[in-house]
Structure 1
Amino acid sequence: MASSTVQSDSDDGMDEFMDKFKTQRYKNAFSVDNWEEEFNKVPMFMKTAPEEIDPQKYPELACLQAIIHDEDRPPEEQAKSLKDEGNAFFKEKNYQKAILSYTAGLKKKCGDQDLSAVLLTNRAAAHFHLGNMRSAMNDAAAARKIKPDHLKALIRGAQCCIELRNFSEAIRWCDEGLKAHPSDKKLQELRAAANKHKRAAERDARRATAKEKKLHGEKEALLAAIEDRGIKLLQSAKPSRCGSDSEDEDEGSPAAISQLSLDGLSSQEATGAQVFLDEQGSLHWPVLFLYPEHQQSDFISAFCESSCFVDHLAVMFGEGLPPWDTDRKYHPQNLQLYFEDEEKESLYQVNPETSLLRVLQHKRFFVKAGTPSFIVLVNGSPFRKQFLTGKKIHGL
């Protein structure tokens, strides 16, 4: 009878509660306007963890954090909780925080070798996704040292080696892994990829070596050809006087390099052209013509040493005069050519019928910056007279 009475009272209470539930709002219910924001504060339903955990704003999460970091718990439990925390950050692609959690777990030194290997491997994965290949490699190696057959550590180590372009080492990691896991497809794929990259790198290295050897041979042949012709290359310093002002000097100045090198052929950077030796053994030089009267210039990228100046002048001024020649006086037959001897402050007049090679072999001609240059003046012009005033003029 008593049991029946209790049941009746209980039912009556439930009915009363349900009646109130229908007519009165629950005091702790989520707001209709911001229920999503409130829902996201519940740890179980959070989409992302907050950057900083305010106990007033996130009391439930703060409580869980306190449990996770409870120093009274055994180190194994703390390390495992930190591993789980790191995994949660990892899933959110928050790799920096995942690394911090895994590192904190490792600092617990729980003594569980399996857990330590997992923490190291997971931290290696986070480093890998951040592009920290060296750190990822170190963690994978440390995990492998604890557990030599740890599959994820072996895979991660091989991946790091490939990213670091150490393909031989990647193959060694894969081979070691395949001994313990002979049927693992990922290791097989990584080994095949590493081997392919290794062969490609070796092929590229052979090609680079062959190309370098060829270029070296071409440079040696070029310098030998210049030296055989007695052509003097001038470095940045001007040639100094050798104690004699005699025009009959047979020796070049000290600044004219006695042992030729490509340092004296630096025109390529400025002009995009450089002297070269063709298959027939002829040198082709970049040559600059200067017109001081009009502050103009012409550039010939490949002037064959056997060609005469008149051949190029006929092309440049034969069919039509340049627009800057308003007086129409730059005709091939009216032009005079000179090269400058800076040391002696002299000019040497060049016969247009002369070949470039003959001029370059002159004892007072120095090729500066890899580009022979010549001054062009109009015969009989007032500017020519003014320009040559006070200068020593010599013939070839």
Structure 2
Amino acid sequence: MADSKPKSQISDEERLELAAKLDRDLDEFIDNLPKRKQEETTSFDRWEEEIANHPFFMKEVPEPGSKLHPLYEGLQKLKYDPEENEPEELALAYKDDGNFNFKHKNYRMAIIAYTEGIKIKCGNADVEATLYNNRSASHYFLKNYRSALLDAELALKLKPEYDKVLSRAANCCFKMEKYDKAVEFCDKILDKNKNDREALELRKNSINQAKIKERNERKRETAEKKSRKEEELIVGEIIKRGIQIAGGDNLTLSKLEPQFPQLFNSRVYINESGNLVWPVIFFYPEYKIMDYIQHFNEQNTFMEQLVHVFETSPEWDEERKYKVNNLNVYFENEKRKNVKVDVSKTLLEILKLDDHIIKEGTPKFVILVANSKVERLFLVVLLLSFPPDFHPQDTRRPSAAVLGVDHVSFASVAVFGSGFATVFIEKFKVTQLVFSLQIPLDIYQDWNPISAKRLLYDEVSGFSLAPVRCSRDSEK
């Protein structure tokens, strides 16, 4: 800095005078300590506190930024001031501090002290090698094996025959699975002492582990090669069959990984007959239950799979309604329309349909009891179209429509101040009833400007779907 001036070296006389002053201050401090009486606990606490804060008696280093006792500042100046000490003296002082912290397992503090000593660059190769060695040991105990090895190598540059450092370097290499390098360090130790047991044992273990690592690498490469071949084969078969996959551009096996925990290890594969075997989900809206089918051969029909699933009646089917010959199967196409599945067809025939798309690597199908109330409700899709600036107090009526499987009906919407929008569905083909749907306005508004909502038998909280008998007024 521009304003800094070199400080003058302290003379021997000044050094002696400073030491004498420290002695006088200590005597004065002890004389002025509060006298403890038998009953004066507070005075004893004060006396104990002052003793603990005195530099000659303190057990902990002051926190950074805290106010220092004048004696502590004086001691620091005597020990650490570069103008009062030779570079080698400073380096040794930091080494001693590091050793103290190392002994008390304060390895991070030890690293800081050794680093400060290294920064001095005292010019003594032995001192610098010791600092690097000690910092290497501190890193080793913190399991910072890479840093420990770097410091060990720096120490060896300064002192090539440093046995302790050679041993640590070999152990660091072993920990980092650098077995060939570990053997090299062991050989250097054995060149000087061919009977060194630790080096012989470490060398033997390094050679054995190197063989195991090499074998595992070969296995990994073989597995990766097999996986790439399998991926190319599966992806090629899916494309050849014309099966559509969501996000199918640049199709990879990662896009075919099931996202359901129950199917994590059941990705589509090719069996010995060359057939694709898929993980499939059967969903039962009436009970909000799913069946996770891990192996659905593409050449099996849905009827065959249903017979297998319902070979014994499930516990949740208390009414015993789910009979194989009385079930309908659906899937949802890209337009959110339910498509009925011909159960006599194979899985492959359904997956090849133009409007079927596999998402999350798992074909999904809905199973419903034929002609049941649940099926009728499930087949309704309500489409509402809102003005872009629609708000709950708006008096305008959005257009609305109800889509069934093979028909389109229309609906009118009335917005009331009760916090609900009521949708009147007219001329519903299946039931010949008028349905009213109450939708909370905050959800109603979220459908802006165009969206669809499936009615899964009262599945969505806050929705109410209730049939009302058709009257001549409501038909108009």
Same-fold call, TM cutoff 0.5: yes
Residues 216-255 of structure 1 show CA distances to partners (whole Å, capped at 9, x for unaligned) of 2333332333334x1413215xxxxxxxxxxxxxxxxxxx
- 1:123-143, Cα deviation, whole Å (9 max, x unpaired): 221222223333322221221
Partner AA of 1:357 in structure 2: L
AA partner of residue 217 (structure 2): A
| Paired-residue identity, % | 34
Structure 1 residue 93 displacement after superposition? 2.2
Using the TM superposition, give the Cα deviation of residue 321 of structure 1 relative to its aligned residue in structure 2, in angstroms: 6.0
Q: 2:60 corresponds to which residue?
A: 50
Retained in 2: the 8 A contact 1:68–1:82?
no
Equivalent residue number for residue 89 of structure 1: 101
Residue 153 (structure 1) aligns with:
165
Of the structure 1 ranges 136-145 and 292-301, higher mean CA displacement relative to structure 2 is found in: 292-301
Residues 1-396 of structure 1 mapped to structure 2, 5 A cutoff = 50-52=60-62, 68-69=79-80, 71-228=83-240, 230-236=241-247, 260-272=251-263, 273-317=266-310, 319-320=312-313, 323-324=316-317, 326=319, 328-343=320-335, 345=337, 347-350=339-342, 352-385=343-376, 387=379, 390-392=404-406
Q: Does the 8 Å CA contact 1:318/1:331 hold for their aligned counterparts?
A: no
Number of residue pairs matched by the alignment: 340
Q: Distance in 1 between matches of 2:251 and 2:114?
A: 62
Mind listing any 5+ residue stretches in structure 1 that lack a counterpart?
A: 1-26, 237-255
In structure 2, the residue matched to 1:251 is: none
In structure 2, distance between residues paired with 1:126 and 1:162: 17
Higher relative strand content: 2
- Which one scores higher on RCO, CA 8 angstroms, separation ≥ 6? 1
Deviations 1:188-218 (A, max 9, x none): 3333333333222222211211222222233
| 2:277 aligned counterpart, secondary structure | strand
Per the alignment, in what secondary structure is the counterpart of residue 160 of structure 2?
coil
Give the alignment's TM-score, normalised by structure 2.
0.59
Distance apart, 1:147 and its partner CA: 1.7
- Identify, as 1 or 2, the structure richer in helix: 1
Cα separation, 2, equivalents of 1:89 and 1:341 = 69
Tell me, yes or no, if the aligned pair for 1:233 and 1:368 is still in contact at 8 Å: no
Contact (CA 8 Å) 2:78, 2:84: kept in 1 or not? no
1:68, CA displacement in angstroms?
4.4
Cα contact 2:166–2:186 (8 A) shared by 1: yes
If the length of structure 1 is used for normalisation, what is the TM-score? 0.69
* DSSP 3-state at the match of 1:330: coil
Q: Give the drift of 1:390.
A: 3.1
Report the alpha carbon displacement of residue 116 of structure 1 after superposing the two structures with TM.
Answer: 1.8
Q: What amino acid is the match of 1:207?
A: K
Any idea what SS the aligned residue of 2:217 has? helix
Q: Distance in 2 between matches of 1:382 and 1:100?
A: 76
Q: What is the DSSP-based 3-state SS (H/G/I as helix, E as strand, rest coil) of the residue aligned with 1:148?
A: coil
| Inter-CA distance 196–302: structure 2 relative to 1 (3 Å threshold) | same
Which amino acid is the alignment partner of residue 294 of structure 2?
S
Q: Which one-letter code corresponds to 1:390 in the other structure?
A: G
**Structure 1 residue 309, shift from structure 2 partner:** 1.8
Q: Unpaired runs of 5+ in structure 2?
A: 1-30, 39-43, 381-402, 408-476
Whole-Å Cα distance in 2 between the matches of residues 321 and 82 of structure 1?
A: 76
Q: 8 Å contact 2:97–2:113 — kept in the other structure?
A: yes
CA shift, 1:293, in A, is: 4.9
Contact 1:321 1:331 in 2 (8 A): no
Deviations 1:148-170 (A, max 9, x none): 22222222222222233322232
Give the conservation status (yes or no) of the 8 Å contact 1:378–1:384: yes
Q: Is the 8 A contact 1:151 1:181 kept in 2?
A: no
Contact 2:286-2:374 within 8 A present in 1 as well: yes
State the superposition RMSD in angstroms: 4.1
Task: State whether residues 114 and 147 of structure 1, in contact with CA within 8 Å, keep that contact through their aligned partners in structure 2.
Answer: yes
Distance 1:94 1:264 in 2: 49
Aligned twin of 2:449: none
